[in-house]
Amino acid sequence: MFVRTSTRENADGSKVSYLQLAHNEWDPAAKTSRTKVLYSFGRADQLDRAAIERLIKALTRLLGSPTAGGRGRPEPLPGLEFVESRPLGGAWLLDGLWRRLGIDTLLRRLAAGTRRDPVVERVLFALVANRALAPSSKLAATGWVAHDVHVPGLTGTDYTLSDDACYRAMDWLIKVEEKVARGVFDAVADLLNLEVDLIFFDTTSTYFETEDPDPAMWRDEHGRVLDPDGEPDREAGAEPSEESGTEGEAEGEAEGEAPPAGAAGRAGFCTHGKSTDARDDLPQVIVGMAVTRDGIPVRVWCWPGNTSDSPLIRQVRDDLRDWTLGKVIWVAEGGFTSAANRRHLAAGGSGYILGEKLRSGSAEATAALARQGRYQQVAENVRVKEVKIAEHERFVVCHNPEAADRDAAVRARLVARLEAMIPDSDRLPPTQRAELRGVISTRPGLHRFLRTTPSGLLRVDAAKVAADARLDGKYLLRTSDPHLSTEDIALGYTQLLEVERGWRDMKQVLDLRPVYHRLEDRIRAHVLPCCWPDRPDPRHHDLDPRPHPAAAPARGHLHRSRRPLPPDHPHRPRDPPPARGTRHRAPAADPAPGHRRPGSALTRHNTRA
């Protein structure tokens, strides 16, 4: 029950407010909650305050909790003193899932063979919970744990979490990264009975708000530093070679420095490269992630920021070779379609589904477009046809009508902009016309439809426009599996959206960026726990046959920071000082009277001696 105020406007424009005692009732027919008025106290300006105070006293006597003077906040029960109130729901749910997956047991077992304090498992859980509930720096996370949340095993103990403890836990985590990643995935696969027949892989980048890249160091083919104590290279801006994965070896040879054994190139970890966030001006690192068809992350990797995408999938397959996944089909985009990758992925009885760029002009793309055939509808917006090109590979042309309309609209806008830029170019002197052509060449979308006549005049290339129109909504897939149907090939490839969802969650929900670290291992250790909160979603997997009321809104609740006490509350804990660069989130609005938040609040009391 709650007290609500209703306002009525009179004919003369004046407003009158009325106070009512109401409560919400569920309407099973309409499947919604409706408000029912139990009692009306009358007009707010004519309220009988003495009668209300008598009602409060009567209810207080009934509950056995006397008030101070009949009004104000109830006094605590004898022998108890109010200490603080903290949100419980999000951390409690995460801790239950953490224990159900066996991550706590795994980390304690790995720490048992070392001289490390077993509390390192609770420290790592606190960092993961902070990333899911209130993403911030490690320094701000210590204040969050100390004041704003109840973390089982840390809150209410004599242990005080410090930023140094967080850094030590991260340093240890990166040393046992492979064992932890495999143990966590095995637990998830066993608990959810995952079918690991398709593995989707993709990469992204995350940049740093700094202008200076890291000094170049000799690295192996996996991007790991070979000689950490070696003298750093001053010229860190060389472009990476296509297959080495890092900067070419010619750089070291040009300086007269012999590369160490196993070196694939030189690169700084945080360095310039092709940014997926359109921030080529800032140093970055490359992050790769493999997920199952259910969207469950298998493992994440980090490489230097100028690493080429092409060879990475071979390293990923080698790293997962001993994971007893059985026969799997690897699914990736067109950037991983090199001949070396295809041979590597098909070895050992595995297979692949790879995208092929139709606009690349490759022999396979040209031959596939030249083959005639009838499309087969396999989904609402996907049509497919298989074409015969090679003996040991299968090729499937896919067509998306909605994407075709979108491509046609984009091309029409580009052609219209190009025509608006060159209508009077024939009257310009040759020098100014060349300058205009140079300006257009900096815009790839416009430049591909530009044609220059033998006399130097600028025209829209109608042949290129028509050729581009034939590719609207089409993409080519190639696979080594002879048993998959064309429908499975097409729909399996479209599930790459699960990786895109993972990137979106890591960057927007879990706030992967900004990264408050500069050391290479710290950056790797920062990225690794960011995929743990994105593990099973309670809405999609039945972890417990008994439904829990917090399971339905779990995902939305985990992504909000909840502060149950208002800022002016006398018992609200003092906020910790903010760390530099930490972004603050506005506190969630208080719920309407009579409603409770999805997460409960844990209140601690001390017993007087």
Alpha-helix residue ranges (DSSP H) falling in 335-424: 339-346, 363-370, 401-421
In angstroms, the CA 266 to CA 247 distance is 5
Confidence of residue 250 (pLDDT cuts 50, 70, 90): very low
In this prediction, residue 72 carries a pLDDT of 52
Least confident window among 323-332, 549-558, 560-569: 549-558
Return the structure tokens found at 209.
């708000």
Contact 285, 270 (CB under 8 A): yes
In angstroms, the CA 319 to CA 580 distance is 37
At 585, which amino acid appears?
Answer: R
Question: 142-162 as b/e, with b when 16 or more CB fall inside 10 Å?
Answer: bbbbbebbbbbbbbeeeeebe
Least confident window among 132-146, 206-220, 299-313, 522-536: 522-536
Please provide the distance, in angstroms rounded to a whole number, between the alpha carbons at the two ends of the chain: 37
The answer to whether residue 207 scores a pLDDT higher than 70 is yes
Confidence of residue 564 (pLDDT cuts 50, 70, 90): very low
pLDDT average, residue stretch 514-531: 83
In angstroms, the CA 590 to CA 113 distance is 47
In this prediction, residue 477 carries a pLDDT of 93
Place of tokens 């919400």: 24
The answer to whether residue 397 scores a pLDDT higher than 90 is yes
